[in-house]
Amino acid sequence: MFAYYLELGLRSLKRSPGLTILMVLAIGFGVAASMTSWSVFRAVSGDPIPWKSAQLFVPQIDMWGPSGRDPDGEPPNAMDYTDAVALMRDHRAKRQSAMYQIAPSVVPTGAGKHPLNVSGHAVYSEFFPMLDVPFKYGSAWSASDDTNRAQVVVINSKLNQKLFGGVDSVGKSVNLEGHEYRVVGVLDHWNPQPRYYDVVNGGGFVIDADDVFMPFQTAIQADIPNDGNTNCNAVPEESGFVGLQHSPCVWIAYMVELDDAAAVQAYRTYLDGYARQQQASGRFSWPPNNRLRDLPAWLESQHVVPSDTKVSLLVAFGLLLVCLVNTVGLLLAKFLRRSGEIGVRRALGAPRAAIYVQFLTEAGMVGVAGGVLGLLLTGAGVASVGWVLPKDIADLARLDVSLLALALLVAVVATVLAGLYPTWRASNVQPAWQLKSN
Amino acid sequence: MNLQIRPILTALRRHKAGTALIALQIALTLAIVCNALFIMHARLSNLSEPSGVDEAAVFVIQNQWAVDRPTPQIDAQVQADLLALRQLPSVRDAAPSTGYPLQGGGWDNFVTMTPDQVQPTTDAAVYYSDEHLLDTLGLRLVAGRNFRPDEVTEMGTQQVVIPPVVIVSQALADRLYPDGSALGKSFYAMGLTPSTIVGIVDTLHRQGVDQWNQSYAGQSLIWPARADDSRGIYYIVRAKPGQLAAAMREAPKALYAQSRLRIISPKDGIQDYAAIRHKVFDSDRGLAILMGIICAVLLAITAAGIVGLTSFWVGQRRKQIGVRRALGATRRDILNYFLTENFLISTGGVLLGVLLALLINGWMITQFETARLSLAYVAAGVVMLLLLGQGAVLAPALRASRVSPVEATRPV
């Protein structure tokens, strides 16, 4: 019977090719626009570390007081050196790391090679296990390397390729800013998007992965300056990088790992205690105003998903909605034109259910055709998204099986939904009236 | 002309669903198109923001230092580099800087009128440079004077120098001293010492272009100091007329001839203003294009939907049309009937659409801090959709008007 309905549907669609093409085009465009926007939105709003994001937290300390807060009372989104180092010293979370962005120059060995600039972060050893950073060779440095300010680095596979031709370079030496550092680990490919451990710099989406990581205190000692944002509420009293460390300027990102609600509560209490202690010592003249957000909430609060992406997604869904309303109208016209035929079928004994199946089959066929067109257009859309979006975001949009399946599903489900009302109207056709009027 | 509104309304009552669907489609289209065009226009107007820079001749070199050196050594290198750049035959002038207009983000300081003021008066984008910056960028000095060479100091890594003199943009001068008396007056920009305004330039865009920067649009200041940061420096270079390409080729060679201990990225180490503008407004242009495409598709689909549904109605009513023609109605009457019918439906649709457009905009203001939709866009959208409806209905209506009176007599 279904095959018969398919045949009937096909015949009916062929009878008015203009309307059919119009419906297929509308569904195709609507689906493609919304799926393309969805692919971008999905890419930028995804959880960069889903298995662990609920255990990662970003603490904020109000070291500037009421005059430095946002209108909504939010304290600065980074830390000054004093607080970052104090929190690292207290070491109250399971794992934690202060970090700042660096851009040292690498002087390759061998004559005639130009120095090259690399980007990276100065971090503590717990950074690597905390974020499950994958290693290709070697491992992270140790906690004692942190305290001893060891001359060690972890490099990524791209820099390893550039400097050492991709071989296991653990134990070899890299020259950064004129000083030799021993490679202790080489990362496997790792470039999380957004770069969630330091979204204050680069706004979250950064095309090039960090090339080099070195111990925080080693970088401080070597005078490798901060390459990221520096935010000050007053001009530092002393100049130079050391002056920055003594200033209340904020330039350090901080992340902690806390396993359960009890640990989170304990850390909150600790932060408030710390701020109260600062208040008692006279450094802060205001009560504690700290924040401790888990990673998803932190990314949300920093507006990591560009609002342009949300606007495009909404507009694209609006387009899909208009396409569906359009399809409801056209299907209604199409189905009611065949009132006579429906009357005959009903008079010959077809139950309402049969009319339902027949017309929903026809709607489904339009949906499948629209979906296939939508697939092609989605492919074209995702491929050309770099044309309208900034490269760092466009590169993240991917065409994969789940997106294609979703496109087809949305097309068919949407069209069948759009067909429900016209079908209901069709099934309500009075056979007697139709037969009489003919 | 006889507008047959009553019979049309009676007929529409028999097609409630179809009528409602067309009206709804027009309403949704209007709501989306108004908002999309509004966003598009806002973004496009960003694209053409004047920078104050002689963009046809200016390019920027991002020069990073390969080794860490003490400030005096860096300063000597910077001065030698600038001398070499200025001596190139294709170069008109060159200046050091901490940033450049339309950079995408950079240095800005809050500005206060007194050193202990808690709430800042405004915010100024900060450029540290020397007495060559005005000529290099092509800025127009509208009052006061340029810096004197002896006013230009050196400024080390992460150091902040607050010079006693400053040149401000007209926008900043107007913001601080709305009565036009800015020249010779002073202000504080996050320092303990004041800076006195010695010059005012016409337009000087900020480094940043985002929403936050737009609330301080065009408010910039120039302080006289060479930024001898151990990480690197920007060299802004102005080529002689028509020699931009030659200057961009020769400049890095001249710099490398001075010293090889520098890094100028082959990818984006040297950018002319076309590239800078393209990059900084990337997302604005992208969103504008996207909105344009979506509007076009929306309007096309709505127009096609109207054509489709009206054609169906014409087909359904061939017999009635034939009867009317047989009873003396002219072709023109039939044509008018369908045009009027569409106009009535469209009017209903746009009324609902205006409401929806304002609702959507109100919601977007709370969500995305967009501006309030100007009523000009709503009015333009209403006219556009009414015309679109009339245009779309024309073909089926003409077909209807050609129905012969004989149809009335034919059995169906």
Q: What is the DSSP string of A313-356?
A: HHHHHHHHHHHHHHHHHHHHHHHHHTHHHHHHHHHTT--HHHHH
Q: Between chains, do A329 and B309 touch, taking CB under 8 Å as contact?
A: yes
Q: Which of residues 54-113 of B touch A (CB under 8 A)?
A: 64-68
| Separation CA B289–CA B279 (nearest Å) | 15
State which of A98-102, A205-209, A358-362, B39-43 shows the largest mean pLDDT.
Answer: A98-102
What pLDDT does A437 receive?
56
Query: What is the band of B1 on the pLDDT scale with cuts at 50, 70, 90?
Result: very low
Q: How many CA atoms lie within 13 A of A319 on its CB side?
A: 33
Give mean pLDDT, residues B157-176.
91
Q: Between chains, do A33 and B66 touch, taking CB under 8 Å as contact?
A: no
Q: Between chains, do B66 and A115 touch, taking CB under 8 Å as contact?
A: yes
- Contacts with A236 from chain B: Cβ below 8 Å: 158, 160
Q: Of B16, B21, B195, which to mutate for an interface test with A (greatest number of A Cβ within 10 Å)?
A: B21
Instruction: Provide the 8-state DSSP code for A297.
Output: H
A328 Cβ under 8 Å from any chain B Cβ: yes
What pLDDT does B260 receive?
87
Q: Cis peptide leading into A194, omega within 30 of 0? A: yes
A329 Cβ under 8 Å from any chain B Cβ: yes
Q: Residues B62-94: pLDDT tens digits? A: 999 888 788 899 999 999 999 999 999 999 999
B159 Cβ under 8 Å from any chain A Cβ: yes
Say which of B66, B298, B315 has its CB closest to residue A322: B298
B180 Cβ under 8 Å from any chain A Cβ: no
Percent of chain B residues topping a pLDDT of 70: 98
Instruction: Answer whether residue A144 shows pLDDT above 70.
Output: yes
More reliable by pLDDT, B368 or B274: B274
Q: Residues A303-362: pLDDT tens digits? A: 888 888 888 899 999 999 999 999 998 888 888 888 888 888 888 888 888 888 888 998
CA distance to partner chain B, nearest, from residue A319 (Å): 6
Amino acid letter at B376? A
- Contacts with A26 from chain B: Cβ below 8 Å: 301, 304-305
CA distance to partner chain A, nearest, from residue B290 (Å): 7
CA A64-A69-A73 angle, to 5 degrees, is 130
Q: Which of A396, A51, A376, A94 lies closest to A256 in space, CA to CA?
A: A94
Q: Are residues B310 and B396 in contact, defined by beta-carbon separation less than 8 angstroms?
A: yes
In the structure encoding, which two tokens stand for residue A368, read together? 């499948």
CA distance to partner chain A, nearest, from residue B238 (Å): 26
Q: Between chains, do A388 and B290 touch, taking CB under 8 Å as contact?
A: yes
Mean pLDDT over each residue of chain B, to the nearest integer: 89
Give mean pLDDT, residues A138-150.
95
Q: Between chains, do A390 and B118 touch, taking CB under 8 Å as contact?
A: no
- Contacts with B282 from chain A: Cβ below 8 Å: 389-391
More reliable by pLDDT, B104 or B150: B150
A220 Cβ under 8 Å from any chain B Cβ: no
Is the reported ipTM for this assembly greater than 0.85?
A: no
Q: Are residues A88 and A60 in contact, defined by beta-carbon separation less than 8 angstroms?
A: no
B367 Cβ under 8 Å from any chain A Cβ: yes
Instruction: Provide the 8-state DSSP code for A252.
Output: B
Instruction: Answer whether residue A435 shows pLDDT above 70.
Output: no
A425 Cβ under 8 Å from any chain B Cβ: yes
> Would you kindly state where each structural domain of chain B is located, as residue ranges?
5-47+283-409, 67-260
Q: Between chains, do A337 and B312 touch, taking CB under 8 Å as contact?
A: yes
What pLDDT does B62 receive?
94
Q: Which long-range contacts (CB under 8 A, 24 or more apart) does A233-236 make?
A: A233/A64, A233/A67, A233/A68, A233/B190, A234/B190, A235/B160, A235/B162, A235/B190, A235/B191, A235/B192, A236/B158, A236/B160
- Length of chain B measured in residues: 412
Query: What is the band of A112 on the pLDDT scale with cuts at 50, 70, 90?
Result: low
Q: Between chains, do A425 and B17 touch, taking CB under 8 Å as contact?
A: yes
B12 Cβ under 8 Å from any chain A Cβ: no
Q: Residues A191-247: pLDDT tens digits? A: 888 899 998 886 778 878 899 999 999 999 998 988 888 888 877 778 778 888 998
Say which of A30, A322, A329 has its CB closest to residue B18: A329
Question: For chains A and B, what is the number of CB pairs under 8 angstroms?
Answer: 161
Give pTM, 2 decimals.
0.82
Say which of B289, B294, B305 has its CB closest to residue A316: B294
